[in-house]
């Protein structure tokens, strides 16, 4: 099956057009299904008397965020530095005292809180 570059490019163009048509059909079907789901949800909200608060939604349509007065839960400290500072060992940058101790040849296990 000997094909020329022009033949292959022609096939690619044809398939790209078919892909575009299929994506459009999929988007149209999704929009139709979405409309039905929205109507079903609205009916159930009215039927059960649900509020945005019941659904944990804000008035802007997003989810309810933690209020500013509630502090974030901190991870428990797993390591204690030479001057009493602590570190949970979590993701992100290591504290300076950890990187300096490791550079000096010390092991992280030396600083574990037992």
CA distance 99 to 97: 6
Q: In angstroms, what CA-CA distances link 101 with 50, 76, 77?
A: 57, 21, 17
Whether 21 maps to a domain, the answer reads yes
**Tokens 């809180």 belong to which residue?**
113
How many C-beta atoms lie closer than 10 Å to residue 110's C-beta? 9
Q: Residue 14 falls within a domain, yes or no?
A: yes
- Shared domain for 60 and 90, answered yes or no, is no
Q: What is the pLDDT of residues 34-93, one digit of tens each?
A: 999 999 999 999 998 988 888 888 766 555 566 666 676 778 889 999 888 998 888 788
The reply to whether the predicted model has a pTM over 0.75 is: no
Q: Which domain holds residue 49?
A: 1-65
Cα→Cα distances 49→40, 46, 58, 63, 72, Å = 14, 5, 17, 19, 33
Number of domains in the chain: 2
């Amino acid at each position: 099956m000997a094909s020329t570059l022009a033949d292959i490019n022609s096939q690619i163009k044809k398939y790209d057009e078919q892909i575009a048509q299929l994506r459009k059909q999929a988007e149209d079907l999704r929009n139709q299904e979405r409309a039905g789901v929205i109507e079903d949800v609205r009916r159930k909200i009215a039927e059960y008397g649900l509020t945005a608060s019941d659904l944990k939604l804000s008035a802007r349509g997003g989810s309810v965020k933690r209020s500013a007065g509630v502090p974030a839960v901190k991870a428990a400290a797993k390591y204690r530095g030479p001057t009493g500072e602590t570190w949970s060992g979590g993701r992100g940058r290591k504290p300076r005292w950890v990187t300096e101790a490791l550079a000096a040849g010390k092991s992280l296990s030396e600083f574990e809180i037992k």
